[in-house]
Amino acid sequence: MDLGSGIKLWPIWGRLAIREIQLSVHRTVLGPFWLVLQRIFVGVAFSFLGLVLWGNSGGLNVEVLVAYMVYAIMIGYLQTANTALISTINLADSGLPISIRLLKPWAREFLLSLISSIVILLVVGFSGKFSYQALLVVIILIICMGMWGLGIIMLVSPLALRFRDFSQIVLLISIVLMFFSPIFWNISDAKNKELAYNIVTFNPIADSILAFRSLIGTGSVSMNYVMHLLIQTIVAIGFGFLCFSISRRRIPYWN
């Protein structure tokens, strides 16, 4: 099985992912933390945007900051799925399993999510909500999001390689999800709460965002968010594996 063979070669795609991160921040002082600082910067901007639109008090809204970082992790997987097979086309004739062309960019995003999770834990600590239970919840959520991302990459990347217009659609979806995700707004703030609730219900990344916002706000996470994320992860892995298995033999001819 191609995927199984690729997973066994984890030292190869793991090193390639680390090398790619190192090259992207070559000769910088902060190194890979620059990639996370970009997310923090936009998260701070969203925090003050939420303050302008809905806020009743001044200062940085850490719930919005963390919500955007979670959004950036999820969208990072989606955008990686959009270019995974195209950007790793140089591995096409390497003799390695095709799945490595998916696992390498996935590993890169997963490593970035781990760095982002450290920042999130620091925010939780500064908010006075840190506990071993919160640490365990963050670990579980990050792993679930990572597996969700792997499923999305297996599902989307063959379609984006075969149908190049599909990649443009994914970019549009990423933009739409930014505004339809509860990053700088809450259902309780919306005038049309029914519409806001429906948007959140059918938003595939909303549960992850709401889980972390709940963790920052109350120090705990509703099991409903966790269960919904687990279900989405299982569905994404299942459909992703099916799509990759069907298209695997055709991928070399689509380059």
Each domain of the chain, given as residue ranges in start order, spans 2-254
Looking at residue 168, what is its pLDDT?
87
Query: Euclidean distance between the first and final Cα of the chain, in Å?
Result: 21
Contact between 112 and 21 (Cβ < 8 Å): yes
pTM for the whole structure: 0.86
Are the C-beta atoms of 72 and 146 separated by less than 8 Å? no
Q: Round to whole Å and give the CA distance between 113 and 122.
A: 14
Other beta carbons within 10 angstroms of residue 198's beta carbon come to 11
Write down the pLDDT at residue 151. Answer: 93
Tell me, what's the pLDDT at 222?
A: 82
Q: Half-sphere exposure (CA, 13 Å, Cβ side) for 143? A: 6
List of residues 6+ apart from 181 with CB closer than 8 A:
67, 71, 203, 205, 206, 209
| Phi/psi at 116 (5° precision) | -65, -35
pLDDT, residue 124, reads: 78
3-class DSSP state for residue 128? Answer: coil
Look up residue 130 and give its two tokens. Answer: 């840190």
Burial of 222 (0-12, 13-18, 19+ CB in 10 A): middle
The pLDDT score that the predictor gives to residue 115 is 84
Predicted confidence at residue 59, as pLDDT, reads: 59
- pLDDT of amino acid 91: 56
Q: What is the pLDDT of residue 1?
A: 62
248: nearest Cα among 162, 119, 150, 145: 162
- Would you give per-residue pLDDT tens digits along the chain (255 residues)? 677 887 888 888 888 888 888 887 778 877 777 877 887 888 778 777 767 766 655 556 777 888 888 998 999 999 888 888 876 656 555 667 888 888 989 998 998 888 888 888 888 777 777 777 778 888 889 999 999 999 999 999 999 888 888 888 888 888 888 888 888 777 877 788 888 888 888 888 998 998 888 888 777 788 888 898 999 999 999 999 999 989 888 887 776
